Amino acid sequence: MSFFLENWILIAVAFSAGAMLVWPAVSAGARAGSLNAAQAVQLMNREKAVVVDVRDAADFAAGHVIGARNLPLAELEARLPGTVKNKATPVILVCGNGATSNRGAAIAKKLGYENAHSLTGGMGAWRAANLPVEKA
C-alpha cells in the first residue's frame, strides 16, 4: 500500500497514458456506421444507396453530391419515411463537416433504417476527394 501512496504521480501518469491509447478506439466506436468518400461511392454504385443531405436549402443549393435529396436535419424524422420508403435501402447522410450527419444517422437508425451511414468529413471530404458536385 505504501508503494501506491509514494508513487501516486507515476500511477496517474500511467493511467493517463493508457486512457490516451484507448481513446481512439472508443471514439471510433461512437461513429460506427460512418463512411469515407470512397466507401460512400462504392455503396452508391453497388447497392444503389440514397444520399440525403441534411444541410439547409441554401447550403444544399451551393453544392451537393450528385443525386442527393435535401432533407434538413430538423425535418429528417418527419420526411425520411416518405423519401426512402424501403428501410433496407442503404442511406448515406451528408452535411458540411460530418457532425450533423452523425446525428442524422442516429435519427435514421431510430426510425428503423439499420443501413444508415454518415459521410465522415461531410462535403468537405467529398470535395477534397475531387468527387463530382452539382449545384441547384
Active-site residues: which are they? 95
Beta bridge partners of 116: 91
Beta bridge partners of 94: 53
CA distances from 119 to 43, 77, 122, 123, 135 (A): 11, 18, 5, 8, 19
Residue 128: enclosing H or E segment and its boundaries? helix 122-128
**Based on the number of CB atoms within 10 Å of its own CB, is 39 exposed (0-12), middle (13-18) or buried (19 or more)?**
middle
The vertex-114 CA angle with 113 and 118, nearest 5°, equals 85
